[in-house]
Structure 1
Amino acid sequence: MNKSLEEVNQSVSTQNKTTAFRKILAFLGPAYLVSVGYMDPGNWATDIAGGSQFGYALIWVLLMSNLMALLLQSLSARLGIVTQRDLAQASRETYSPFVNYILYFLAEVAIAACDLAEVLGMAIGINLLFHIPLIEGVLLTVLDTFLLLFLINKGIRKMEAFIIALVMIIGFSFIFEMIFAQPEVGSILKGLVPSLPNSDALYIAIGIIGATVMPHNLYLHSSLVQTRKFDRSTTGIKQALKYNLIDSTIALNLAFFVNAAILILAAATFYKNGMFEVAEIQDAHRFLAPLLGTKWAPILFAVALIAAGQSSTITGTLAGQIVMEGYLNFRMQPWVRRIITRLIAIVPAVIVILIYGESVTGKMLILSQVILSLQLGFAIIPLIHFVSDKSKMNGFHISKTTQVASWIVALIIVSLNAKLVFDQISGWLTASNNPIILWLTVVPLAFGFLVLLLYIVVRPFISKAKLDIHNHSPHNMVLQFSKTVAHSQKNIAIAVDFSFADENAINYAFNMGGKEAKYTLIHVVETVGALMYGKHVADHETTIDEKLLLEYKTMFCEKGFHVKTELGFGKPNTILPKIVNKGNFDILVMGTHGHTGMKDLLFGTTVDKLRHKISIPLLIVKK
């Protein structure tokens, strides 16, 4: 398994810092790169639409989204710190290739939607500030790919410094915007009380959640925390978790301030003056000067927009690299990956602008955020499962209270998205002149994604329930020993899996070698924990397997056989050849079940891959 963002992995040392302040500073940084995704141009569109249509009424949605984001980002950071895996890598090691390909596709759709918002936002900002046509502005955004390449080659700390500078520009811009707008403090406080004026407010609210809690940020954060090199002891990991929580709290509260400022600005200017339909960023920019009475308001607005687009596009393309390498274990040149990510966003943006004109950019931005929200469940649910798993987290799993809070957040997000999808599809079916096409395309697709969502919810629970029900006790074996004196095989390896197939394999091996031969019983632990931690795993199934392997050895040694054991960890078709090839064996004996079930089909695949990797004969004993 390659390291996540290998070019900067563990490139920042947090050790040997003389003071606690310097120690904290060494850890600060990753959450700021993540936070810019929470203040990207997509947020601007949803915040402006929410503020102009409903005034201060949806501020509570921003606050709720920020609390959700803080919880989920802390879980993402915990996964990366403890397991040294990003979310995509952990998913690849847990789910089947088929499921992972779907999850990868959904992650790429989310990143493309995110990048679309960033491309449009930057292009709009360039257009507003320098009067460059929107199409040319969109095409110019491809150049920032090379800025990212330059920054990452200078080191992650230089990139973090650049991003923090852009965040400061955005923050200072909106401090002045608030001074110009003079919002009503009482109305702001009233907006913290949950309410949804109508169904349009629900659509905007889901867009705000999608714009705030972003799926690609969960992949990104779990990777960026691995840029820190720290003591891997229990104390060191606890310290890293604490400092990264501080980092996340500061950075995401800054993002909340920016989002709230945008919504409050729209409420204090447009909603207050009866301009309820302002959803386009360009319109917001145009009306700021006459409504607030200063030319600096629109200038600062455009500068902040460019800074937001530039900062968030850097993190979005990094997330694209993490997702591709994590899910597919496929690595391409970073600059190629980033150009591909950017082109996926630029091409649809150019086509839509050419066909429908510049007036639809606001709708495209809001739609991109709703798409992001729809992808959230497929990132959040695996993340919660991973950080709740005792074996995977090696003792640093989240508490029951945090698990309950996390599942409540997931339930809220998935429920809102389900209602949005149901309402949207119902509306299409009612309005369509030929609904049969929708029944044959959109409805089955939505149902398929629902099934996938249910699968990733229940699969880990089912896997845990099956941990210790298939182990075959050695005391139930019916052993038959040959009386033959001459034996040709002197050093025999026997692969065991604690199923009933072991009985045939062991009997056949004993008949081949008799009591003069030496035997090595080999078992490979295949749990997720074993895949991630290797011999350092301490999960329940490993404990059971170790006990059974020792029972096998004890029973056979008592009968006069020379038996050793070897325990491997990981994928059998990879680990078995390593164990066999380093030992001086004459033959490897394995048992099968006669290919009567799913396990045997999988086992057959192991055999096919194994026979090409070992340098000794392989004997398959069928039941």
Structure 2
Amino acid sequence: MPPPSATDALPQGEFRSLSESHRSVVLPAGAGAFRRFLAFAGPGYLVAVGYMDPGNWATDIAGGSAFGYTLLSVILLSNLMAIVLQALSARLGVASGMDLAQACRANYSKPVSIALWVLCEIAIIACDLAEVLGTAIALKLLFGLPLTWGVLVTAVDVFLILALQRFGFRRLEAFVIALLCIIAGCFVFELFLARPDPGAIMRGLVPTPAILTNPAMLYIAIGILGATVMPHNLYLHSSIVQTRAFGTGSADKREAAKMATIDSTVALGLAFFINAAILILAAATFHTAGRTDVAEIDEAYRLLAPSLGMGAASIVFAVALLASGQNSTVTGTLAGQIVMEGFLHLRLPTWARRLVTRALAIVPAVLVVGASGDAGATQLLVLSQVILSLQLPFAVVPLVMFTGRPAVMGDLVSPAWLRGLAWVITAIIIGLNGTLLYGML
């Protein structure tokens, strides 16, 4: 392995992000561009998982049934913002040899780093909450398991993660991509049955002022933003790009950053299709039939079969939901490990870290489900995505700052146009969050 460059060296006493997988994926020497891209491909799909987790389902179903195709433009804009931010995240990991959490710890005072860590943990718990509820709802729909028991069963997936990690990072990526293909295939089938209006879809991709002036629409729109651009994914991506054993010279890093950007852009294109498909399905099936009140995942499950005229429609929907929940569990585990190690320089066994995070999500889920039933579960799903959106600035601002600093990035410092675009995206995120808080107050 080549010696680290100045920007690839970690402070004394630090350890590598995800050290058990660091530079574990060997790149073919002397291979053509396509073969090298295939060797780089994978981290983008782990990141894309977070952009189509069960929290997205709740906000997309609510948005599609209530407002038809109107909020498609929010999904599109959120996805475009995500592409830019994830490219910056990958660039940081490649150029500096640090993940975002390590960069925060190295560049900020201890109180600021601790505050950022707490905020990031809140975001991960909110994300894990969505995974818990989504998986529990899928188990109930497929096997009739009571929702409370389904929430408790999700603790078992800790052992699934541990088993997958033992087979190496490449196998973990293959598992995730296989589940993504299942989800995409399910929605191709659902859209074939729903036969949405192509003209309405195209009109929905164009933003309308009503999104900002209608409080109910704005609430769901910000939920979609929070469900699409996820704070923990920025920490995750900056770490897992370092699983590739690219060289540490300037040209090697530029190639790695380019390949990682292409990888995540393609993967996020798949995430856009799935998110848009959920909203389009809800709009074509429920909104056009006058059912603008469908906001719960299990209600959508019950109505799909009679609305589309095929019993398999509901089963396929639930299978996709289960695959989504399990996929999100994998990436949530990795993100939790990265954040704790990076901010606190603290290592816990993976099983212990996962159990702690899962317990913090299970407790509120059990309490809400026990008190208010299935309706409360869906409301909690939407709320979790709004919480994620409110946490976004605390991850995005440091990311944009670090990637614009030559001392951190070396030759891969973001050019002026990219920094400007990133700050515009940051301003939009902060502005939407401020609008939401003003409306809530």
TM-score range, shorter chain: over 0.9
* 2:375 aligned partner: 359
What is the RMSD of the two structures over their aligned residues, measured on CA atoms? 0.8
**Match of 2:118, as an amino acid?**
F
* 1:292 aligned partner: 308
Comparing 32-41 and 355-364, the one that deviates more: 355-364
Deviation sequence 1:98-138 (CA, Å, 0-9, x none): 11111100000000000000100000011101111111111
| Aligned equivalents of 2:436, 2:366: Cα separation in 1 | 27
| Aligned equivalents of 2:205, 2:33: Cα separation in 1 | 36
* 1:412 aligned partner: 428
Match runs of 1:314-353 below 5 Å:
314-353=330-369
* Residue of 113, 121, 128 corresponding to 1:108: 121
Partner SS state of residue 209, structure 1:
helix
| Aligned equivalents of 1:277, 1:361: Cα separation in 2 | 16
1:131–1:17 CA distance, 2 compared to 1 (3 A): farther
* Residue of 137, 144, 152 corresponding to 1:131: 144
* Residue of 26, 45, 48 corresponding to 2:58: 45
Comparing 179-188 and 139-148, the one that deviates more: 139-148
* 1:569 aligned partner: none
Deviation sequence 1:440-491 (CA, Å, 0-9, x none): xxxxxxxxxxxxxxxxxxxxxxxxxxxxxxxxxxxxxxxxxxxxxxxxxxxx
What displacement does 1:21 show?
Answer: 2.1
Equivalent residues of 2:250, 2:411 under 8 A apart: no
2:221 corresponds to 1:205: yes
Deviation sequence 1:280-310 (CA, Å, 0-9, x none): 0000000001100001110110000000000
| Aligned equivalents of 1:246, 1:395: Cα separation in 2 | 20
2:86 corresponds to 1:73: yes
Match runs of 1:413-452 below 5 Å:
413-425=429-441
| Aligned equivalents of 1:10, 1:169: Cα separation in 2 | 29
What displacement does 1:15 show?
Answer: 3.9
**Match of 1:422, as an amino acid?**
Y
| Aligned equivalents of 1:312, 1:17: Cα separation in 2 | 35
Deviation sequence 1:162-217 (CA, Å, 0-9, x none): 00000000000000001000000000001011113511111010000000000000
What displacement does 1:410 show?
Answer: 0.3
| Aligned equivalents of 2:120, 2:204: Cα separation in 1 | 33
Equivalent residues of 1:77, 1:221 under 8 A apart: yes
Higher RCO (CA-CA < 8 Å; seq separation 6+): 2
Partner SS state of residue 29, structure 2:
coil
The two structures have a TM-score, normalised by structure 1, of: 0.68
What displacement does 1:423 show?
Answer: 1.6
* 2:96 aligned partner: 83
* 1:217 aligned partner: 233
* Greater C-alpha radius of gyration: 1
What displacement does 1:334 show?
Answer: 1.1
| Aligned equivalents of 1:223, 1:146: Cα separation in 2 | 22
Equivalent residues of 1:15, 1:230 under 8 A apart: no
* Residue of 225, 247, 250 corresponding to 1:231: 247
* 1:27 aligned partner: 40
Partner SS state of residue 313, structure 1:
helix
| Aligned equivalents of 1:156, 1:175: Cα separation in 2 | 29
Partner SS state of residue 85, structure 1:
coil
Equivalent residues of 1:317, 1:342 under 8 A apart: no
2:293 corresponds to 1:277: yes
| Aligned equivalents of 1:419, 1:317: Cα separation in 2 | 32
Match runs of 1:120-269 below 5 Å:
120-195=133-208, 196-197=210-211, 198-269=214-285
2:18 corresponds to 1:5: yes
* 1:479 aligned partner: none
What displacement does 1:17 show?
Answer: 5.1
Deviation sequence 1:211-242 (CA, Å, 0-9, x none): 00000000000000010001111111111111
Structure with more of its chain in strand, by fraction:
1
**Match of 2:411, as an amino acid?**
G
Partner SS state of residue 357, structure 1:
helix
Equivalent residues of 1:15, 1:231 under 8 A apart: no
Instruction: Report % sequence identity.
Output: 56
Partner SS state of residue 8, structure 1:
coil
Deviation sequence 1:584-623 (CA, Å, 0-9, x none): xxxxxxxxxxxxxxxxxxxxxxxxxxxxxxxxxxxxxxxx
Partner SS state of residue 76, structure 2:
helix
Which runs of 5 or more residues in structure 1 are unaligned?
A: 426-623
2:417 corresponds to 1:401: yes
Number of aligned residue pairs: 425
What displacement does 1:140 show?
Answer: 0.9
* 2:324 aligned partner: 308
**Match of 1:102, as an amino acid?**
A
What displacement does 1:389 show?
Answer: 0.3
What displacement does 1:317 show?
Answer: 1.5
Partner SS state of residue 264, structure 2:
helix
Comparing 231-240 and 101-110, the one that deviates more: 231-240
| Aligned equivalents of 1:111, 1:132: Cα separation in 2 | 26
Equivalent residues of 1:122, 1:137 under 8 A apart: yes
* 1:64 aligned partner: 77
Equivalent residues of 2:28, 2:35 under 8 A apart: no
Match runs of 1:348-387 below 5 Å:
348-387=364-403
What displacement does 1:19 show?
Answer: 2.8
The two structures have a TM-score, normalised by structure 2, of: 0.95
| Aligned equivalents of 1:100, 1:233: Cα separation in 2 | 30
